[in-house]
């Protein structure tokens, strides 16, 4: 069961990684609604390198989750893998909760396209990823 959850989480993360690499390569579709804004002005301006690094990082996280679900051939790596993957799950949970200003379920700024998408799609997706990742960690086997 943990493998199924890991495959689902990893597939979502890889899809998100592809989207970020598309934006880094110059793609524009959906990009304007992917950044928080106030009065039509973006709160942050991610560059090409930063966007590409996020994309590559999402692929790395997906791989990390799959390794955790499959278990390590080296017993000494199993606990660090679970702790690391659990930390990633917590990061997604914190992202879903938000910064209480621009992102997350408890944001104050709610009158932009990003804010609407964040409320109905981005934050629930982060919460789903957190649940899938933490469940994968909980179900993965330690062989002590």
pLDDT tens digits in sequence order for the chain, 144 residues long? 889 999 999 999 999 999 999 999 999 999 989 999 999 899 999 999 999 999 999 999 999 999 999 877 677 888 899 999 999 999 999 999 999 999 999 999 999 999 999 999 999 999 999 999 999 999 986 544
**For 34, which DSSP code?**
G
Is 116 in contact with 82 (CB distance < 8 Å)?
A: no
Report the C-alpha gap between 74 and 94 in whole angstroms.
Answer: 31
Q: Please, which residues have CB within 8 angstroms of residue 54's CB and are 6 or more apart in sequence?
A: 20, 46
- What does pTM read for this prediction? 0.93
Domain locations in the chain as residue ranges = 2-26+46-138
Is 101 in contact with 33 (CB distance < 8 Å)?
A: no
């Amino acid at each position: 069961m943990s493998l199924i959850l890991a495959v689902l989480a990893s597939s979502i993360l890889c899809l998100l990684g592809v989207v970020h690499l598309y934006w880094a390569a110059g793609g524009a579709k959906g990009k304007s609604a992917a950044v928080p804004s106030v009065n039509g002005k973006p709160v942050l301006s991610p560059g090409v390198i930063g966007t590409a690094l996020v994309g590559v990082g999402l692929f790395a996280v997906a791989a990390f989750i799959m390794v955790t679900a499959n278990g390590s051939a080296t017993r000494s790596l199993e606990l660090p893998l679970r702790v690391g993957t659990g930390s990633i799950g917590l990061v997604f949970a914190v992202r879903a909760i938000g910064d209480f200003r621009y992102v997350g379920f408890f944001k104050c700024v709610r009158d932009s396209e990003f804010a609407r998408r964040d409320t109905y799609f981005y934050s629930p997706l982060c919460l789903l990823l957190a649940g899938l990742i933490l469940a994968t960690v909980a179900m993965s086997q330690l062989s002590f």
